Structure 1
């Protein structure tokens, strides 16, 4: 490979959210223990982004900044080239991340007590931003059939038809179960929301991270009849490990809704370096991303083979997209508390416990595999040692 995905850059003392949280939990944690939790990568940032920012800093001042023609061209060309659709420039609303965007948008289109529909287990921040606005969470639990997650459309439609449900937040691809929804599934979701006047907020932050053999279908590539009832959240944050740059583009086709969102947003937008990082990512870093996906797919295969060899009864959801492995540890018969304690205290494996993702997540673990393979291997070996000891003591 042209790019380096094997070198680990330790982030203790550098402000990394997950690394500093780990050290605060256990000040004596060994330096070689890497948290595999929060969804950012343990890879070096793409060189084109780093070098582009260095050059930009050498040639400019950091005054007030707005999006340039080059910024819009980079984003639009990326969407056209990678996803086959072309967002219109007037659809753009910039926010400092998708979570802040959802928090503002939900506040615009709901009032306290309104229902927000989500499909669980799902990204836990959906619940948090809705509840921040005083909304009630309405859960439609995904079905696990023959080893694959499906949408329970009968349940989803029934809940979308409730008078109190005003919004639906979709995760496409789905975090944490890894599904890449098909065109037929997406059309069905969009039809149900349209029929029930439920505004659809589609989070596509993982849309660039698709494993070989699968294809992401952008919601905005579907029939234009959905456009007035739909907005799509995009960001290079997961794609290029730029979460710390806090940049997102929200595509809002309906002008009235877009104006309402912009009014609520006020002056909260991107900063000078965020705009340029987005531009350098989308315009100059495609080759890096292709290699990163291939490397992550190798990690996926390595982890699956590890579990198949040592624990064939452990179910792992097919990771069609994202870099988050969804692993079911129910077969060991642990309580939720026992499982969390074993992973953290015995295996020194710091991942995200499944219960935080809502109904259907209990007993699962979400493992971030966007890391050097030697880091993943060491983590799985520690997990095996802890599980083997647990099984032995339980016998």
Structure 2
């Protein structure tokens, strides 16, 4: 069994998350985990390394079968072998898709606050970002379907990028919500690119519904994006998966992928993906239990000790969206407050859209000891601020 409480040293390992000159800072940002991967993945990497030849790599039938069986077991979704396309990452794949589905001047809908690379991906193609802002009430987010319909009916609107489960607010969309999205987009001839990167990281009591489960008709007007990277902590292996049932779109996508020289995978990525999907299920179940403990611990601590920071309880993902509006700060000031006063690096809420300006995003995929230390630092920093505010020093 994994020792989930092991605080593994990640400084000086070329980790983006841990590359800080100030080693006192606790990074609670960037959605990778501070846990070692499953032993099955490690052993697959060792076997590939021992082989000693890392030449041009392709995909085996075992690779495709591992993906198909995973989606069937975990999400009861039948995936045709022909649908499966490759990308080194979800965002590169989205860029190629938008290059096919849009022209400069077209509009693309996002549901903000949302994963911020969506914005630059849209703008890269000269397209307009249309914000179908999620409704936030009583620490809970919902979709604004009336606004979505208004934006979808605009003839310039060509695509909706759906984040499912949603990053950063942690919603797992219900089958009814997805059905309403499908109805609106089909009615107005809008394609859906569904980012389901966090679909395996769902907490008990919630069920992830793949977009394709909504109905057969939608499959011809949508693309499902996924990867083992968030699920199994192997983002550095750069093996993402695009499921594209529409044959014409899939052929155009794969032609573009080839023309950009991106059609061949990392030699280790193929082995890691197979090992993850074939043998990683027990590791994932243990991870979800540990994350559930971290989630509840963080929420309880904040509610008891730092009531001015309100967590939006996630239904999925290893991230918690923190409402800091009662601290009286926003934008860079809020981010800098935690970085300087608490020595914690969160993801800046304003990057996810204007509606996130008074929020930060916290990554809880770390040993409990590290999470506890970060929460205590937050507590102390907020307490000092409150004392200073009352004394008139700030």
TM-score of the superposed pair, with normalisation by structure 2: 0.96
Q: Distance in 1 between matches of 2:34 and 2:205?
A: 25
SS at match of 1:10: coil
Equivalent residue, structure 2, for 1:29 = 23
Which of 229, 243, 268 aligns to 1:251? It is 243
Question: What is the number of equivalent residue pairs in this alignment?
Answer: 387
Q: Distance in 2 between matches of 1:200 and 1:182?
A: 17
1:84-135 Cα deviation digits (max 9, x unpaired): 0111000011010101101111111111111110000000011111111111
**Alpha-carbon offset, residue 172 of structure 1:** 0.2
SS at match of 1:300: helix
Equivalent residue, structure 2, for 1:200 = 192
Which of 366, 384, 388 aligns to 1:393? It is 388
Coordinate RMSD, CA, aligned: 1.2
Q: Is the 8 A contact 2:182 2:214 kept in 1?
A: no
**Alpha-carbon offset, residue 265 of structure 1:** 0.8
Q: Which runs of 5+ in 2 are unaligned?
A: none
**Alpha-carbon offset, residue 335 of structure 1:** 4.0
**Alpha-carbon offset, residue 274 of structure 1:** 0.7
1:146-202 Cα deviation digits (max 9, x unpaired): 331000000011001111111110000000000000000001111111111111000
Equivalent residue, structure 1, for 2:377 = 382
Q: Distance in 2 between matches of 1:147 and 1:155?
A: 21
Counting only pairs closer than 5 Å after superposition, residues 81-100 of structure 1 correspond to structure 2 as 81-100=73-92
SS at match of 2:49: helix
Equivalent residue, structure 1, for 2:16 = 17
Q: Is the 8 A contact 1:327 1:365 kept in 2?
A: yes
Q: Is the 8 A contact 2:173 2:208 kept in 1?
A: yes
Cα distance change, pair 375–252 in 1 and its aligned pair in 2 (3 A): same
Equivalent residue, structure 1, for 2:285 = 290
1:315-340 Cα deviation digits (max 9, x unpaired): 21121000100110111212434322
TM-score of the superposed pair, with normalisation by structure 1: 0.96
Q: Which runs of 5+ in 1 are unaligned?
A: none
Q: Distance in 1 between matches of 2:111 and 2:332?
A: 25
SS at match of 2:355: coil
Which of 160, 181, 188 aligns to 1:189? It is 181
**Alpha-carbon offset, residue 313 of structure 1:** 4.4
Equivalent residue, structure 1, for 2:262 = 268
1:207-228 Cα deviation digits (max 9, x unpaired): 0000111100011122101111
1:327-371 Cα deviation digits (max 9, x unpaired): 101112124343222101110010101110013111111000000
**Alpha-carbon offset, residue 256 of structure 1:** 0.4
Equivalent residue, structure 2, for 1:102 = 94
